[in-house]
Amino acid sequence: MEDMLMEDFGFSRSEVKELLEVSKSGSGGSTGASRASSITGRLPATAAIGTVVNIVYTIDLQEMKDLATITNFIARQVGGAGAGVAVAALVAKTVLAAAQKGGINYAKVTISYTYGYNNDGVLGWTPGYTKYEYW
């Protein structure tokens, strides 16, 4: 995981260390979020298998301008129980690639999470369909 985050997403070793700690703890520290950035929805502590929850991340790209900040913003909200650092990093990379085209100040990312068993047989929240909107 560490090598993937550094090689595929361009994180430094210290950023990877921080993000992995976030993934393990699921909370704490600064998200880098401004008042314009927000999160709508949350994953319940308990749910029936098959439950789907949508979480909407509104990202102010004037304040969150790098991979680590956006990844941290998303990963801290779901921690080890959700998308995890790799999915958060992929979302951040997608948002920043769109923002580099210019004229985009905000991104709204909706991730659908399903409660159930993942490919490793672990029961928890798994990210699925992801929708991106920009303005």
* pLDDT tens, position by position, 70-114: 988 888 776 544 456 778 888 999 999 999 988 999 999 999 999
Map out the domains of the chain as residue ranges.
Answer: 2-134
pTM of the model: 0.76
Edge-to-edge strand ranges of the sheet holding 38-40 = 38-40, 52-60, 106-117, 123-134
> Residue 30 has what pLDDT?
45
DSSP three-state, residue 111: strand
Q: How do residues 6-60 score in pLDDT, each as one tens digit?
A: 667 677 777 777 666 655 554 444 444 556 799 899 889 899 999 999 999 999 9
- How many other β-carbons are positioned within 10 Å of the β-carbon of residue 102? 6
> Residue 85 has what pLDDT?
75
Which DSSP state fits 130? E
Question: Alpha carbon 45 to chain centroid distance?
Answer: 18
**Which amino acid appears at position 21 of this protein?**
E
